[in-house]
Amino acid sequence: MLFTRSLLVLGVLSTVTFGCARRQKADIPEAKSVTVAPAPVPKAAARDLTDVMTDELKLLPDQQGKVRAILSGTVEKVNEARKQNAGNQTALMTELKAINADSEGQLKAVLTPTQYKQYQAKKRQMQAQMQARRSGK
């Protein structure tokens, strides 16, 4: 009985060992991690956010053109940063913060102090409105 059990264990071990060796010899491709770049921000986002800001902040026509140019440039910078840092989330977040700070500074220069305060207070609400407009189209 002990001899039979030993043979059975030996048979199972050899099967597993040879099976693993055969698998290692075969060219079985391994799964590789693929870094997928985040979806680019649509260029229409700058237009949509400018439209919402125009309504909410009562932008003058010259302010509207400047704000649209700032936001369009921001969208381009964000998309470029996403491409360049697709595999490095930390670097991407650092660059996005810098882009955001630059954009905020430019907006502060274009808006009146009252408009900028309103913008700061309503920023999340305006972004939600812009998203709703985009998804509703």
CA neighbours within 13 Å on the CB side: how many for 79?
Answer: 14
Concatenated DSSP letters of 20-59: HHHHHHS-PPPP-----PPPPPPTHHHHHHHHHHHHHHT-
Cα–Cα distance measured from residue 20 to residue 31, given in angstroms and rounded to the nearest whole number:
18
Give me the tens of pLDDT residue by residue for the chain, a chain 137 residues long: 444 444 444 444 455 455 554 445 555 555 555 555 567 777 788 888 889 899 989 999 999 999 999 999 999 999 999 999 988 999 999 999 999 999 999 999 999 999 999 998 888 887 787 677 767 75
How many CB atoms within 10 Å of residue 14?
Answer: 10
What pLDDT, on a 0 to 100 scale, did the predictor assign at position 75? 92
What pLDDT, on a 0 to 100 scale, did the predictor assign at position 57? 92
What pLDDT, on a 0 to 100 scale, did the predictor assign at position 137? 57
Token pair, residue 108, equals 């502060």
Cα–Cα distance measured from residue 101 to residue 91, given in angstroms and rounded to the nearest whole number:
15
pTM metric for this prediction:
0.65
